[in-house]
Structure 1
Amino acid sequence: MPRDLTSYPIRARRDGSSVLVENHASLQLYDLGGGRLELSAPQEEGAMGLDVALAAFEALTNHGDESAIRLTGTDWTPLLPDLLAKGIALQAEIGPVVLPASLWQAADRWCPQDAANYPTLWQQGPHGRHPIRPPKPTGLLYQRHIPWLDQVLTLRALDHSDLETFHRWQNDPRVAEFFEETGTIEHHRAYLETLMTDPHMLPVIGTLDGRDFAYFELYWARENRIGAQYDAAPWDRGWHVLIGEENVRGADYVTAWLPSLMHYMFLAEPRTQSLMGEPKASHAQQLKNLSRGGFAHIREFDFSHKRASLVQLERQHFFEARLWARPETGRGAPLCFSPARLPTTGDWT
């Protein structure tokens, strides 16, 4: 069921000893060092809803160098049951805390559609059994403000209105060198129709501030050709990418769309534990980008049309290493907490 996005996304920013949430509230912030923050809710009645809280938490964790946010004061009380129930906040010895690894697994801030609570039902596929896949989502899938670009990145399910853009991109020689799918508009219409009706594929368009810039193919690994190359778990997912616009290239953009796409796939299906890829083994730049983005190189293998590298990103690594942030920032503040080791009084003094 889509969430109400009338005021989404509310943005917030850190400003010295405050977190300013646009048109809503100012939250008092205390930085204790070592990645430890304390945040007080505003005292104005009605100022603190879940959307305001999530905007503030995102602003404090978008750069990947905070370890824990302690929620101080009684003004959090009305929101705490919801925050604790969703796992956004965890109850620790020092009181309720928000950890980046828990916050960024809560879809409420970034995904307008709830993850499908779909049963695991099995059927036979090309590489053994695989789960029956949930109905594919339509419309807006994901939305995130990228602080180093100061732009909003969105992902949406491709539909028929995207045909001309897809056709133009595929016939760009730079794109064709790697995607190898040039052709007429009728060829591309048939190509997309096949994907849109295939339960294991999800074609996606990426935008920055409303401008289309990329095409992604998301797939379930077990019934894909990659499923013949390794022992795929039931909910492993893979992806292909096409950056269609020449001026949306380079490290600033890769560090925006790559972790955001991975983030969406982990949020869309909580049972997904690994994201897989099979880039050309000779595509040195893409392999370098994937390595910086947290992907491990497993091995090389041969498809009929290319020599490929099998790469993998694990869910636990993505969230605990805070890979949504730019590689050159934060990562590994002096104190690192996880649900297995919540902050104690000794950590906070």
Structure 2
Amino acid sequence: MATLQLSRPAANSILLTGPLHPETPPLALMPLLAELFCHQPSLRDVMLDTGCTDEFAVTLVRMGIMGRRIATANGWRLGCSRAVFWQQPQLWLPTPGVSGVATEYVMSHGRRHPRRAPQPQGVVYQRYLPRQGCTFTLRVANIRRDLPLFHAWMNMDRVHRFWTLAGKREAHAAYLQAQIDDAGVLPLMGEFDGEPFAYFEVYWAKEDRLAPFYAAQDFDRGCHLLVGNSRHASKGKTIAWMRAVSHYVFLDDSRTQRLVGEPHIDNVRFISHLQNQGFAKLKEFDFPHKRAALLMLEREVFFEQHGPWGEE
């Protein structure tokens, strides 16, 4: 591609200078940006001063690889902020997200909402966590593979306290199958280095029971979760997976501007964790089955202040 010279005009920024080969494909810059941003959490900006053509500069910005272009005497200087870099879905989503799905409205259960795409299959998000020295993965739940763990976890006293779904294997199979069949929900298993440790239900808020309690937007999403394997309950891993799940949800659909949660008001520890990761507590309210807290994380807040670079 090129031999670029690295300098630091400021403590949290990097400037790369040198000519790029005229036939350099735009995506060839992604591994370079990944090497810089993924291993330097405090890095906020990478500038590329290569004297490239206007056509190449426009292409990079329109593709979202770089965030801005600045005219110089030698051509164009390109800038990529930390927030822009971490919104690159092709780096962490093995299957395409749903940003490109056309918006067409339908009615279900008396609610008008965008038609949702069918659920994906297999791994939907994967990222190596340098500080933890392991790989975090989200994959779509599978009855045959995951029912034994799901059944065991739901019957744990600490899980039943908030999910109230303790019961027989057959009931859990029916519940899990219902989530798999519902386009408004995405049931996921979270893994560290291939070992399942948690279950996540990512849902579209507009179709959820939460919708009547706040002004839900078309692409707001929420997440119910449980951690079944306490072997991965360290503070560092907890922060890492919380940020990784938020990262996945925002990457899956660029139209999603808000991530919401409605934990039981008694789950003080979890609410505190969410607030430490950028969620704002908006209010308390009453579901028929519990008193809950409404929390919300905005896309801008996440990528500017609480993104996946902060794992500890």
TM-score range, shorter chain: 0.7 to 0.9
Contact 2:2 2:20 in 1 (8 A): no
1:234-266 superposed Cα distances (whole Å, 9 cap, x missing partner): 111010111111111132012111111111111
Structure 1 residue aligned with 2:8: 31
Structure 2 residue aligned with 1:333: none
Counterparts of 1:153-232 in structure 2, within 5 Å, are 153-160=136-143, 161-232=145-216
1:150 to 118, 121, 133: 133
2:120 to 137, 140, 149: 137
Structure 1 residue aligned with 2:285: 301
2: CA distance, partners of 1:76 / 1:285: 53
Q: 1:42 to 1:124 in 2, by over 3 A?
A: same
Contact 1:51 1:109 in 2 (8 A): no
Structure 1 residue aligned with 2:106: 123
Gaps of 5+ in 2: none
Paired AA for residue 139 in structure 1: G
Structure scoring higher RCO (CA < 8 A, sep ≥ 6) equals: 1
Contact 2:57 2:69 in 1 (8 A): no
1:144-193 superposed Cα distances (whole Å, 9 cap, x missing partner): 11121011111111112211121122122232222222122111110011
2: CA distance, partners of 1:102 / 1:43: 21
1:69-116 superposed Cα distances (whole Å, 9 cap, x missing partner): 012346999986653332121212460111111111121111112223
Does residue 92 in structure 1 map to residue 70 in structure 2? yes
CA drift of 1:56 comes to 3.3
Gaps of 5+ in 1: 1-23, 329-349
Q: 1:146 to 1:155 in 2, by over 3 A?
A: same
Counterparts of 1:98-113 in structure 2, within 5 Å, are 98-113=80-95
How much is the aligned-residue C-alpha RMSD, in angstroms?
Answer: 2.8
Contact 1:236 1:276 in 2 (8 A): yes
Paired AA for residue 131 in structure 1: P
2: CA distance, partners of 1:102 / 1:83: 12
Paired AA for residue 298 in structure 1: L
2: CA distance, partners of 1:209 / 1:75: 41
Number of residue-to-residue matches in the alignment:
304
1: CA distance, partners of 2:22 / 2:102: 41
CA drift of 1:35 comes to 1.6
CA drift of 1:228 comes to 1.4
